[in-house]
Structure 1
């Protein structure tokens, strides 16, 4: 089980990312359009605007966590669960359509 503070920190990052998603996206589009060999004044302003956004609003800072335990590693995107929880649920037939492999 992950620490509660880590889970809350991750939720806070998700809220910030959603809040600044449109601002960050539009600024990046403007920067891409005004691509010139040298830095123009407009591009410098766009870069300053991007840098003024909070660090935790960047999507690269987000981690995918297990829905039940909050574990940050070995997560399966399809189920939103970590590996060992997924295995336990498949064994006890709680996930329809998922079968346990056996050789």
Structure 2
């Protein structure tokens, strides 16, 4: 089980990313249209002024149940061992059991 502080940190990053999504997107469009190198530097300075944790690459997918950061299945939002336990207990209809 992941500590609560790590899960809260991820939630904070998610909120920051949603807040700054459009603010971050507009300078990137300007960057592709800019011709002069000095213009690109100015636009880059605007992007660097934004909070570091507001970038979408800083987000990390976690297991919905345990908060585990590795071995997650996107379709279910669960880590592998939790998914296996739920399939064996018949909580996920349509998933086939196999000898894992």
TM bucket (normalised to shorter chain) is over 0.9
**TM-score under structure 2 normalisation?**
0.93
Counterpart CA distance in 2 for 1:98 and 1:60 is 31
Structure 2 residue aligned with 1:39, among 37, 51, 59? 37
Structure 1 runs, 4 residues or longer, greater than 3 Å off? none
Task: Return the offset for 1:102.
Answer: 4.6
TM-score when normalising by structure 1: 0.91
CA-to-aligned-CA distance 1:10-47 (integer Å, 9 cap, x gap)? 0000000000011111111110121x3x513x222211
1:52 maps to which of 24, 49, 52: 49
Post-superposition shift, 1:97?
1.3
Could you list the runs of 5+ residues in structure 1 that have no partner in the other structure?
none
In 2, Cα distance between the equivalents of 1:4 and 1:13? 14
* Per-residue deviation, 1:101: 2.9
**1:78 partnered with 2:75:** yes
Instruction: Tell me which residue corresponds to 1:26.
Output: 26
Q: How many residues align?
A: 100
